[in-house]
């Protein structure tokens, strides 16, 4: 089967890969039909990530179920589904607690689109992927949501949602600070959209990039073009989506007493690690959260905001690209979010 493969820094090619098989009665075979870029894909393609070639790209997308095992009851051939990028069983003690990123039934950090050895499950820019534990993993595409809008619901959209979810209960109506960046920068923009949809009284988006600031303004945020050392105000909910030391430090220093700062950035450069203002954080009782989202647990809540019209993810999309042109578009390194669609979708 044909798959878009990362072969080295800025080297991509469509290659033939072995055909995948069901393997178990609990599995499904899914044909990806609408695939989105993740912010980390740009780092992988540039050769700036720890994930080594060769690997098939793509870990966000909507697919069509082609075949299911005998014990699968929740989906059937022909169904459109969202496939979480993390593999999880839904039944182990960790999954039952909602911590699906760390499922005990598969090798640690098992993912589509990147990973090492037994952690790696192929990528969505291919003819087919195998989804184990299909009844747990596969999320039916809700009626009224297009594949374009849901393509990033495998990772970036729910990742952004969890950063501002406290608006629902702990901090209803609170102002929110989002420090954007991190490569293409879609997660910070989705966080803005979620915060507005959840009723934040004000959302401030800080980013030096004018294109991202324009998108944030369309989503309902006020914007700031420079990243200062600190602001004259604090926010109960802050988001570091910058992957930059100065951005994280700003978010931490801007977090209000008893507030929470969530960082979705990945800090790969050991020589440029951020400095933590620990005394300020201690004095204000700040909670700092970093790490991978538990995507399968968060997807339903993130989709609800799209279903109700609170968030239109397509505002963040730079362009929709024909499936065959995926390599050229990725190598441009000039996008916030690309969506790759098969013909006829």
268 pLDDT tier (thresholds 50, 70, 90) = confident
The answer to whether residues 199 and 150 belong to one domain is: no
Please write the tens of the pLDDT for every residue from 286-323.
Answer: 999 999 999 999 999 999 999 999 999 999 999 999 99
Percent of the chain with pLDDT over 70: 99
**Residues with Cβ < 8 Å from 95, sequence gap 6 or more?**
88, 89, 103, 104, 105, 136
* Residue 321 forms part of a structural domain: yes
pLDDT of amino acid 271: 55
pLDDT of amino acid 119: 87
pLDDT of amino acid 1: 72
pLDDT of amino acid 270: 62
Mean local confidence (pLDDT), 77-88: 98
> What is the spatial order of strands in the sheet that 255-263 belongs to?
222-224, 203-206, 176-179, 235-240, 255-263, 287-290
The answer to whether residues 116 and 196 belong to one domain is: no
Please write the tens of the pLDDT for every residue from 173-194.
Answer: 999 999 998 789 999 999 999 9
pLDDT of amino acid 66: 98
Domain residues for the domain of 243 are: 157-290
Mean local confidence (pLDDT), 76-80: 98
Please write the tens of the pLDDT for every residue from 24-60.
Answer: 999 999 999 999 999 999 999 998 888 888 999 999 9
* Residue 297 forms part of a structural domain: no
Q: How many domains does the chain divide into?
A: 2
Mean local confidence (pLDDT), 120-135: 96
- Supply the mean pLDDT for the chain: 94
Between CA 84 and CA 297 the distance in angstroms is: 10
Is residue 274 predicted with pLDDT exceeding 90? Answer: no
The answer to whether residues 80 and 8 belong to one domain is: yes
Yes or no: say if 30 and 128 are a contact pair by the CB < 8 Å rule. Answer: yes
Distances (CA, A) of 13 to 63, 145, 155, 267: 22, 31, 24, 28
Please write the tens of the pLDDT for every residue from 193-250.
Answer: 999 999 999 999 999 999 999 999 999 999 999 999 889 999 999 999 998 889 999 9
CATH code: domain of residue 240: 3.40.50.720
pLDDT of amino acid 14: 96
The answer to whether residues 68 and 100 belong to one domain is: yes
Is residue 269 predicted with pLDDT exceeding 80? Answer: no
């Amino acid at each position: 089967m044909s798959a878009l493969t990362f072969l080295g820094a800025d080297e991509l090619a469509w290659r033939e890969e072995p055909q995948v098989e069901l393997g178990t009665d609990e599995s499904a075979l899914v044909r990806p039909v609408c695939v989105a870029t993740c912010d980390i894909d740009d780092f992988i393609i540039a050769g700036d990530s720890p994930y080594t070639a060769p690997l098939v790209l793509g870990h966000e997308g909507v697919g069509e179920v082609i075949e299911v095992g005998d014990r699968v009851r929740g989906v059937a051939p022909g169904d459109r589904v969202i496939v979480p990028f993390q593999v999880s069983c839904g039944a182990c003690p960790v999954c039952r607690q909602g911590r699906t990123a760390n499922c005990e039934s598969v090798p640690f950090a098992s993912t589509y689109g990147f990973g090492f050895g037994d952690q790696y499950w192929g990528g969505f820019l291919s003819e087919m992927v195998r989804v184990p534990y299909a009844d747990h993993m596969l999320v039916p595409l809700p009626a009224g949501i297009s594949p374009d809008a849901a393509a990033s619901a495998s990772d970036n959209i729910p990742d952004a949602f969890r950063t501002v979810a406290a608006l629902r209960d702990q901090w209803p109506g609170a102002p929110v600070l989002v420090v954007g960046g991190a490569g293409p920068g879609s997660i910070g923009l989705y966080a803005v959209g979620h915060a507005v949809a959840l009723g934040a009284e004000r959302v401030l988006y800080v980013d030096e990039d004018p294109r991202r600031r324009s998108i944030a303004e369309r989503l309902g945020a006020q914007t700031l073009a420079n990243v200062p050392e600190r602001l004259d105000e604090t926010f109960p909910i802050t988001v570091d989506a910058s992957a930059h030391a100065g951005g994280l430090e700003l978010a931490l220093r801007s977090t209000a007493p008893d507030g929470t700062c969530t960082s979705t950035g990945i800090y790969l450069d050991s020589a440029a690690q951020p400095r933590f203002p620990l005394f300020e954080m201690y004095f204000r009782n700040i909670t700092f959260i970093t790490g991978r989202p538990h995507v399968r647990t968060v997807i339903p809540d993130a989709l609800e905001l799209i279903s109700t019209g609170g968030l239109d993810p397509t505002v963040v999309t730079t362009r929709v690209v024909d499936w065959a042109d995926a390599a050229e578009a990725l190598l441009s390194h000039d996008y916030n979010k690309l969506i790759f669609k098969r013909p006829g979708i």
